[in-house]
Structure 1
């Protein structure tokens, strides 16, 4: 009987690994996403069912990762990062080309290796700084920049600016939280400001990327071409008014003026049908999600856990900020989905892993305290 009690407590501790506040917030955002996808995807049979399956898979992955202690995650940092970079190199050599981008590789199933680098890169950086804890020098930050730069360069070359931006945000957060000097940070900002108009814009950006920036600044320069999608999405966001037009009543979406309305531009559908009040609720949920993640990061027991949790917090923030910004017309369109709202299995798997990492960090803190 005593052995059964011990076994039951052990089993229950493995089942009940979800951090309640974080799980509730994610569940509420997913609920908003399912309702919106029901409307946005009504002309796409099977899409809602696929998303429900993706959500189940995401929660299973979240549970599995939540059961892995941060110390074990740290052991896998080098193999995962090395494997991810090898796949990126393989994509560059013989990857599949779709819509002008070489981002996928067929290994029995078609995968997009850049997705895993959103987690693998900050994981590797957090491992590196954990090993150097208490003895950090300037050269360590240089090495960390190289660790970050390798996957970012390979992803940007595909080209996939949206994913590269997310990897930069997550990786640089680790470097900054590890103790990067404000002077160095300001110097980097000043350097980027100088090289953007002289090097990055004329030589490094592709023509379509330049067009996206110019279209963001003035969508009316090509209202029936490159600017059409931004104009229509901003019309959808604004036409929702205070309370929205109601579920299934968004004209911009159902008259097919909004592009990619189940994926990258689902926020436009949500805004049109639920209005300013709906947006306020959604933004509040994302704010609570990020705050909860930052609280977990601040209370993490080790440097590795703190850096990794901090980078995951930045991933969630960057996803939400960039997507809402591009749909609203204040940022260029870069193909970043809205977390836990947009349709897509790969993104949900990545987000499930990220949420699982947060819950693993929180669970480990409780175990350390007890």
Structure 2
């Protein structure tokens, strides 16, 4: 009987406990704010370039129960946070460290400065507050008080602009508006951001004139450029009859051209110039009578007739001597070898930005054939 009585008491106690738990409901409070503490060394200078982190401490918002809050850090150059930015990352403890580099990057956007020379060199006040939420649904969202770090010294934190290493031509002839078939332009040795290509810009099969556009990647990413905003043929010596064709560079005078793209950097923007030159290709060195840096017409390749279309060979004059074969185009302000090329096992290989190429020899009377569309060639 004693054991039965004890079991009865235990069951009764559990029932009362369950009843009490059901009566206690968890209610989420919505506090107006919570406290972000002023850092211990706030009166000093925060030199973001020469420090790794800034430590912050806070007290958790009063949600009415113990919960894990997620804090994000928001900064502004004004106390009213009229323009602000939220730093990357969230924190779940009451003491955490914020990366100084993240603050510096956010300040670039807040200042909106693209010229490094305009960035402030003297310390300035920075305003900070926290935003607390309980989950991904932003339940319990509440902002802390605003604190001021009176003297923050930042720096121009954007990565330096670098010249593009690749450039592509697309058009109704070059690639038929498909980036998969776009032409890869050839970088010019010793001149970052400058590229060349020999292009067939004749009419399409239905008689339409050629149109072209460019980009540094093989995709429509909004950075492609054509006629608008581009310096067109200010230095070129051939007249393609260029015009604005729906934003593309329309070719009014069908033909073969050396197309050159030159990139310059202005602040945080790329600027482009597109120039057109006659499609003159020359032998150099032993097979050109021992002449170097020559543009003599005697050593100039024959230009394919437009009726043959894009898939046609440029053909050199007969080699004057036995010896190594060298060939190039010649651009103003460039050495001939900055734009030289050879053929290896049937493949057209430009020097580009690389080292001196391996040697290929030929016999007097042979010719060099180059297909600039297919990047093929032969010696025979």
Shorter-chain TM-score above 0.5: no
Q: Look at both structures and tell me which one has the larger radius of gyration over its CA atoms.
A: 2
Higher RCO, 1 vs 2 (CA within 8 Å, ≥6 residues apart)? 1
Normalised by the size of structure 1, how large is the TM-score?
0.20
Greater share of helix residues, 1 or 2?
1
Normalised by the size of structure 2, how large is the TM-score?
0.20
Greater share of strand residues, 1 or 2?
2
